[in-house]
Amino acid sequence: MSALETAFSNAEARLGTEVGVSNWITVDQPMIDQFAETTYDTQWIHVDPERAAAETPFGGTIAHGFLTLSLASRFAYDCFPMLPGQVMGINYGMNKLRFLMPVRAGARLRGRFTLQKVTKRSATDLLRENLLTIEIEGEKTPALVAEWLGLAIFED
């Protein structure tokens, strides 16, 4: 059995199950400021702690939604090691994405992955769809939920 066939069979057996929970990452003001600078999104709710504390219900600044989403790649590194015979993994996009709760500066986040679907696209490509939930430590409502697609590319 090829490495891809083995990976497909193993993934099929895990459909509907949690496949990983990442380590926590702190989203602090310097991280938010760097993201704002990089993306040219310097809206005051992200970069002006005093104004955000005075004029928002959040008590301070909040992270950009896309900053929170961008951490998904880091969370995946914690949860998806390379499989035997896999040569690379590729982000294939999202089917659905919802931002459910703002992330306050200083919050800790982690990613939780549940395998929803797996498809053999070719003799070398395995498409996995995972439900990604980015949790905020101490909050019942997650920061976001998404159906994330990833390609696992295997040797030919």
pLDDT digit string, tens, across residues 70-129: 999 999 999 988 888 999 999 999 999 999 999 999 999 999 999 999 999 998 999 999
pLDDT at 134: 98
Each residue's pLDDT tens digit, 9-67: 889 889 999 999 999 999 999 999 999 999 999 999 999 999 999 999 999 999 999 99
Q: What are the two backbone dihedrals, phi and then psi, of residue 60, each rounded to the nearest 5 degrees?
A: 160, -165
CB 89 within 8 A of CB 151: yes
CB 7 within 8 A of CB 109: no
pLDDT at 8 over 80: yes
pLDDT at 4: 86
pLDDT at 155: 87
User: How much is the pTM?
Assistant: 0.93
pLDDT at 83: 87
pLDDT at 148: 97
- The one-character DSSP state at 143 is S
Token pair of 99, please?
């931002």
- 50's enclosing H/E stretch is helix 49-55
Q: Give the domains, in start order, of the chain with CATH numbers.
A: 3-27+63-154 (3.10.129.10)
pLDDT at 156 over 80: no
CB 153 within 8 A of CB 1: no
Give the integer Cα–Cα distance in Å for 46 and 48. Answer: 6
